[in-house]
Structures are given as C-alpha cells and as structure tokens.
Chain A
Amino acid sequence: MKPAPFKYFAPDSLEAALELKAQHGDEAKPLAGGQSLIPAMNFRVAQPSILIDLNRIPELRGIRANGALTIGGMTAQSAAEKDALVAQHTPLLHEAIPNIAHPQIRNRGTIGGSVAHADPAAELPVVCLALRARMLAQSQSGQRWIEAQQFFAGLFTTALSADELLTAVEFPLARERTGYAFLEVARRHGDYAMAGLAAVLALDENGACSEARLVYLNVGDGPLEATQAVASLVGKKPSEEAFAEAAQIASQVDMQPFGNLHATPDFQRHLSGVLTQRALNLALSRIPKKAAKAK
C-alpha cells in the first residue's frame, strides 16, 4: 500500500506547469488534491512516472463572479462550499458540495480535480452538466473552452488532451423563474451515493415548464442526462402527474444502471425515480414565488 517511485515536480507558476505537461504528456499526472489519485497510487492501480503537483500555483485558486461564476481549478472543495458567491449564484453547486466525501477530504480535494477525474459516481460532473458549465483547458500553445456536454467523454475520461490542464470551471449564474435541487442517497453521509441527481426546472410566464435538466450520478459511464424524461416535461404545467411520468421515464427508459456494491440495478432505478419526483418538487418550491405564480 505504498506508491511506486515517481519523479516529482512542484512548479510555482502555471507557465512552468504547462511546460512540464507539454514535455511529458500522458507520462505526467497532475496532482491536485490527491484525494483520488494518491489512493489509486497507494493501491498501485495508478503508477504515474511523473507527478506535477499543482498546489504551489496560487493563480489556479479563487472564485469570481462576473457575468458567470468562475472557479479556479485548484480551489479546494471546502473553500467553494463556504463561499458566499457560490451560495448566491450557483445554489445547485452549493447544495451538492457537502455530499462529496467528508470535510477532511474536501479540505484537500479540489473542484478541478473532481471534474478532471470524471468519476461517474461523483457529484461535480453531474452539477457541471446540469448547469451547462464550461471547462477552461490550457496548454503551452493556448487555451480553449470545452462545454460540459463534450468534456465528459466516458468512464474516467475527459476531452482534455495530453498537454492540457484544466485551469478553471465556469458556471452560468442562477436564472430567473428557475429552481434547482440536488438530492442523493448514500449508505452513510459522505460515501459515494447509490443514486442521486441534479434537477433544474424553469417556468415560462404562463407557469409551464420551459426548460428542465435531470442529470444522474452512478448510473452510467459518466453524468447521465435523462433527455426523454425532460422532453416529457417541457411544455407542461408542473403537477404530481407530470413529475411522476418524468420520474418513470428517467428511471426506466433513460438509464441502464449497472448496479454497484451497495445497490442492484433495480434498486438504483427505484431510488432514481423517487429522488426525481422529490427533486422536481423541491426545485419547483424554490422558484421565487412572484415569478412562479405569474400568469
């Protein structure tokens, strides 16, 4: 249970880190919070020959709101959890973060590390997809923004190329007439969840659903979007029946869960269905009242 030997670099600027990444490509793993990477190295499931520790690069930390909410890749999950801008502008993210592991892990684990890790059981990729976040990928030759829909490319796989680092995640600000909810069920607080989802529900002036997003964790090889369930909702006025139908389609048609140590595929479908109804009701109840009843 000890890591295999590796070469270690701890650059103190992004420029230096990108130069190392350009030189060593896939051989070199960025080390963010280490809360997924070091356990994998202890088990020797991961044996990178080079580590580029990003912890000594201050410019990668920080949160700003300026038309959108931008979080530096190396911002600790616990810092984002306590941040007032996050609470105000991205309530879904604010609600999701405390579900990630335990405080001791969130003190080291980073926003960018979790997003780059692309674990289908993780909360942050689900939030990124539900909010249509964009990821900033930087390399020595420049930078590009990658939309969440393209970024998560499969099991522990992202659209980042070998010479790129994820340097920031940009979330659109919470919108009018829109409610957000994140719910999950885990065996014990802090464990990876058996099922869970992020729900976004937007109403038009007439109170009908104009847009919705339902994105699930741990039931696919990445964050799973229930597009058919959403299609059933759009255009309808929110009601118990409409939510029940969406929950049914999401859990029975949109997803093909594999099951895991703690839950069979059927149980994951059941949980996802129940959580869908609860999350839609919660999202609806959070739409500012004035807007919700506007006729």
Chain B
Amino acid sequence: MSDTYSITLSINGKSYQSEVEPRLLLADYIRQVAGLSGTHVGCEHGVCGACTILLDGQPVRSCIMLAVQADGHELTTVEGLASDEKNLHPLQEAFWEAHGLQCGFCTPGILMTLLPYLQEHPNPTEHEVREAISGNLCRCTGYQHIVDAALLAAKKMHNGA
C-alpha cells in the first residue's frame, strides 16, 4: 500500500475523518468508506453523470475526483436531500409523482444536478431542462418523465405547489 493521507470533510452536514490512499476516487470514498451508497457509479470516466454530487454547492462528478481533493470541503449527496425518512424533498416528491424514474440508477445524479439548477432557475422551459440534464444518461425512461418531473419540481420548490 502506498502512503496514506489524513482527510476531514463534511458530507450532508456530518463530519468524516479518514486515512486514504491518494488514488481512492471520491465516489468510492462516499460509497465504501462513508457507507453512503445512494451515489451511483456507472462509467467511471465522467460521461454518465450517475455519480454527480455537490461539492461546496456545485454539481461535480465524484468518479473523476480524488477523495484527497475533497479534504476540507462540504459535500452533499442524494441522502442529504430529504429532511428525514418520512419527508421527501420537493424534488424527490416530484420524481415520485411524475414517475421520473424506472430502475432508479441514474436518479441520484439527476437529482443532484437538478437541485442547484432549479434553485438558480425557478421557471425553466422544457428545452432548458433538457439542456440542464444533458450530462446525465438514463437507460430506462427516454427522459420524458424526467423532464416532466423536473418541471413539476420547479413549481413545488418555488410555489409550494
């Protein structure tokens, strides 16, 4: 084993401290060390978007970032969306109601991409939503219901619909 580095980071408001090998990918840290398996790993080269998380509020691919690079940063994963087990985030509710997922593999990445997008764009058009999720692949839905869910989520997040 090569040298390890000590890192401290926050995920969903909880602090983690670990010794990691520098080659450990952030996605693997989140899943295997922090035990948060909601973040999915599809392609491991930045293409599919399944591993998207928020790094200091900005969406990034966790499969093409090293865990050591997250030292001192604040991360949010899909587990950080709902306030508790009974109350989903309005974004999650919208996906539930509009049937925005089938197998659910792509969903965490899509939610973490849409969260900051919809916060900054309260009233997007369908075209803008499609552009916003253009970096996320879904093998099941054909995207239509994801787009519907995102448009519904925009309403829920901003008008409490």
Contacts and interface: CB of A to CB of B under 8 A. Distances in A.
14 contacts: A3-B23, A5-B23, A10-B68, A39-B44, A39-B46, A51-B22, A103-B113, A103-B117, A103-B132, A104-B49, A104-B59, A107-B59, A108-B61, A189-B134
Contacts of A39: 44-46, 64
B9 interface: no
B136 to A, nearest CB: 8
A101 B135 CA distance: 8
Interface in B100-115: 113
**Complex A-B, nearest 8 residue pairs according to Cβ-Cβ distance, in ascending order:** A102-B135, A8-B22, A39-B45, A38-B64, A1-B44, A3-B23, A5-B2, A189-B134
Nearest to B62: A104
B61 A190 contact: no
Given A38-B25, A78-B58, 13 more contacts: A1-B44, A7-B3, A38-B46, A53-B69, A55-B69, A102-B49, A102-B134, A103-B59, A104-B59, A105-B61, A108-B64, A189-B134, A190-B134
Given A3-B23, A43-B45, A105-B135, A8 B64 contact: no
Interface size class of B (residues with CB under 8 A): 20 to 34
A75 to B, nearest CB: 14
Contacts of A156: none
B134 A35 contact: no
A7 B5 CA distance: 11
Nearest to A4: B23
Contacts of B132: 103
A3 B59 CA distance: 23
B113 A34 contact: no
Interface string A93-123: 0000000011111011000000000000000
B76 interface: no
A258 interface: no
A295 interface: no
A198 to B, nearest CB: 22
A41 B65 CA distance: 11
A107 B55 CA distance: 9
